[in-house]
Structure 1
Amino acid sequence: MGKHGKKLSQQQQQKQQRRGRRAFSYNNEEEEEQQYIEQRDSEKNDDESQEEEEEEVEEEEEDNEISQSPSNNDVPSKFLLYQQSVQSPKGDISYLQKFFLMYVGGRMPLHLQEDFCGTALLSTEWLRTDARRTAIGLDLDIEALKWCMESNLKKVGADVYSRIFLFHGNVLEPLQATLVNFDPQDLGQRITSGDCQNGPDAVLVNSSTQGSLLGVSHKLMKDARLPERDIVCAFNYSCCCLHKRQELVLYFKYALSILNKRGGIFVMDLYGGTSSECQLRMQRRFPTFTYIWEQAEFDVLQRKTRISLHFNLQNQKKKLRHAFSYSWRLWSLPEIKDCLEEAGFRSVHFWMRSMPNSKEIRNIDGFGIGRDIKYEEVTSFQQQDSWNAYIVGVV
């Protein structure tokens, strides 16, 4: 579904392979919540007129739609809007550590691979927590990967350049993925100034890899010297981009092959419930924009739907329609378990949480709703309107 409902080009469809999106997650950052409350209290908006404007999502004038060109400096990046409205990396990392210590134990997890990584926000946050940690990101969207280097990594610190590897490629052909080069001049200045501090366990890098990072040569993932991963993850419902069972099993087999033989875990997330199999539209207001999740009709035979994410910008009084759009197959939990076991994982565990009823959260104001809902390990779970799940495969 394009900007006006047109069929996506083949190139656009391939980009959908890159990653899924967390449908309607809840940001847990207290400082952001407080900032929102203060700004909300200082503004006096007409809520009814704003809601009427937000409902007009199908027909927009060309001059009111946001161009994706870099010349629109006053318009925030769609990647930044997505990170602010959807992702909660600290919460994900907390659960990743918990799962690893519970099912593997004996050591702290240091080496992460984030598949369908997009802007690699999770990987960036992972590197903050321990100077020995490394992160590998894989995504099909080169624009998102470059945005990560230009925006996310520069905010963390120069030392992360020696501990992160971003690869451009398909998760079904990961060994053919190409290492994305950092800016040669920028990274060269950081290294010569002594900003990069490589601890003994920081990263496995040889001279040829450093050359790639400096933009001297290209390197495929199959040629890179990378550590065995303690954790491989595919979040934001990314596996829904894989429509065929054989693709899903193939991907799981690869994830298993790169995990540490001493013990490791693969973690993915999934959503479901009765509301996931029907047409649905929800929105959530933030200080300067409104995030809209739009779910098209659900095909019960193919178990497919199309998901579109829109952003209404309050300051610019513009709307970013179909900022992200995906064709998803909504897998069931038993299907995922069967595929993981077929791929060779020793055990599979489900951690689930109930979500607020979709009819009650079509319009959400603020960050706080749902923040106290915790995931719990389950062996059975009764169907309801909406739920989220972490699925953990153990080596």
Structure 2
Amino acid sequence: MGKREKQKQKHDRTQRGRDYYLQENDTAQPFSSTSTLSPADNEEEEEEAIDDADSDNNNNEQHPSHDMPSKFLLYQQSVQSPKGDISYLQKFFLMYVGGRVPLHLQEDFCGTAFLSTEWLRSDPRKTAIGLDLDLEALTWCLENNIPKIGADGFSRISLFHGNVLQPLQSKLVEMDPEELVRNISLSQNTENLQVDVLESDVPTSSSAQDDKLTAKNFPMNGRDIVCAFNYSCCCLHKRADLVLYFKHVRDALSTKGGIFVMDLYGGTSSENKLKLQRRFPNFTYVWEQAEFDIIQRKTRISLHFHLKKEQRKLRHAFSYSWRLWTLPEIRDCLEEAGFRSVHFWVREMPDTTEITRTEGFGAGKDIKYEETTSFQQQDSWNAYIVGVA
């Protein structure tokens, strides 16, 4: 067998390993958004499985397998549902601003900018800006998400590496133009096969070193919508920082009017140690919430993935230190930052003490959010908070 045939065989095996995890995901959502995670039905077995993953995960990081899916891909499949979020974003804009079609989106704490890239698909006039501190996630987006949009994708989205508290100092993420052209071509040729690039295949990218390519000096339209999803505002622990962030958002919105939308979860179960899991065909997603400090209102959230095919676990694939804000606190901070009105859209989630283990996308995904000014405490709830400028 010739060298070229051997390389092709190896490539085909790699592609099969990737495809195993690639499935349509129009309905998956964060655990408190529109899907259901269920309590681990055997805590001792679950603990043992996750604890055993420590050494496996360390080995995975040192010797990445070409068959191992990216943690960003697993996150997108199990946590995010950009189509559902975008549907609500457009609805909120038409309700509270109206008069025009929203075209310009900014996604803060964007990670892999999965929502931003989905935003671009429906209208060639749409643009998106993503901002995040994680350069690795932004790079993964450039390599995996944007090429699937088409040849004009890179001209309609700008990703910035920086802090949401200092957005104008963030740097445009750049890559080799020849590499980007190659990726677009590969994506167009393999889109029907739903093939993704592994993390180990991602070339080095960096934030722009030229100060001219900071957000301060980068031409951008006033945003119609700014969003911060996946409970990202809980990463800001101080009230002063939350108000400062909301002021930056207010400044970024169009002078013609715009909205800011964030999500938040709560309920009695949110202030206790908690572990929930959700089965997918090829992996299990585990949400682990540590003890809750009632004085600082802080907890630590860890996301784990149990991979069935490899019989491996990615422990602490993502970990966050969160302050769990209350709805009135968020409203007060938005008003202090200059938003003229604040609206709450809330939905009750299944009771964590009663739900049973589910397969696939879980139960209750069709329950809708409703606007309300009063909501009685429940075991678990999720909310969209809309600030109107």
Give the structure-2-normalised TM-score. 0.81
Which residue of 164, 168, 173 corresponds with 2:166?
173
SS in 2 for 1:158: coil
Report deviation, 1:239: 0.2
Choose from 88, 105, 108 the match for 1:112.
105
Alpha-carbon offset, residue 25 of structure 1:
3.9
> How far has the Cα of 1:372 moved from its partner?
1.4
Alpha-carbon distance in 2 for matches of 1:314, 1:155: 27
Correspondence for 2:347: 353
In structure 1, the residue matched to 2:133 is: 140
* 1:79 and 2:72 are equivalent in the alignment: yes
Q: Contact (CA 8 Å) 1:24, 1:293: kept in 2 or not?
A: no
Task: For residue 371 of structure 1, report the CA deviation from its aligned partner.
Answer: 1.3
Is there any run of 5+ residues in structure 1 with no aligned partner, and where? 1-20, 29-46, 196-211
What does residue 374 of structure 2 align with? 380
Specify the SS of the correspondent of 2:52.
coil
Q: Aligned pair 1:261/2:255, yes or no?
A: yes
Q: Report the 3-state secondary structure (helix = DSSP H, G, I; strand = E; otherwise coil) of the residue aligned with 2:51.
A: coil
Alignment match, 1:158: 151
Instruction: Report SS of the residue matched to 2:64.
Output: coil
Asked if 1:307 corresponds to 2:301, the answer is: yes
In structure 2, relative to structure 1, the CA distance for the partners of 1:130 and 1:214 (3 Å cut) is farther
The C-alpha deviation readout for 1:258-311, integer Å capped at 9, x for no partner, is 101111000000000000000000000001000000000000000000000000
- RMSD over aligned Cα atoms: 2.6
Instruction: State whether residues 348 and 394 of structure 1, in contact with CA within 8 Å, keep that contact through their aligned partners in structure 2.
Output: yes
Aligned counterpart, 1:233: 227
The answer on whether the counterparts of 1:112 and 1:123 sit within 8 Å (CA) in structure 2 is yes
Give the superposition deviation at 1:71: 3.3
Cα-to-partner distance string for 1:82-137 (whole Å, 9 max, x where unaligned): 00001000000000000000000000000000000000000000000110000000
Alpha-carbon distance in structure 2 between the residues aligned to 1:350 and 1:62: 40
Aligned residues between the structures:
338
CA distance in 2, matches of 1:332, 1:233: 18
1:183 Cα deviation after fit = 2.8
CA distance in 2, matches of 1:163, 1:383: 42
Counterpart position of 2:320: 326
8 Å Cα contact 1:184/1:214 also seen in 2? no
Amino acid at match of 1:146: T
Percent identity (aligned): 68
Q: Which residue of 2 aligns with 1:280?
A: 274
Contact 1:355 1:386 in 2 (8 A): yes
Output the CA distance in 2 between the equivalents of 1:128 and 1:57: 40
- Separation (CA, whole Å) in 1 of partners of 2:301 and 2:291: 10
* Distance in 2 separating the partners of 1:223 and 1:70: 41
CA distance in 1: counterparts of 2:324 and 2:218, whole angstroms: 34
2:275–2:286 CA contact under 8 A, matched in 1? yes
- In the alignment, the residues of structure 2 paired with residue 328 and residue 216 of structure 1 have an alpha-carbon distance, to the nearest angstrom, of 31
* CA distance in 1 between partners of 2:292 and 2:208 (Å): 45
Contact 1:308 1:326 in 2 (8 A): yes
Aligned partners of 2:44 and 2:206: how far apart in 1? 49
Aligned partners of 1:76 and 1:61: how far apart in 2? 16
Contact 2:285 2:303 in 1 (8 A): yes
TM-score normalised by structure 1 residue count: 0.80
Equivalents in 2 of 1:284, 1:247: separation in Å?
Answer: 33
Q: Which amino acid aligns with 2:359?
A: D
What is aligned with 1:68?
Answer: 61
Contact kept? 1:278, 1:298, Cα under 8 Å: yes
Asked if the contact 1:285–1:291 (Cα under 8 Å) also holds between the matched residues in 2, the reply is yes
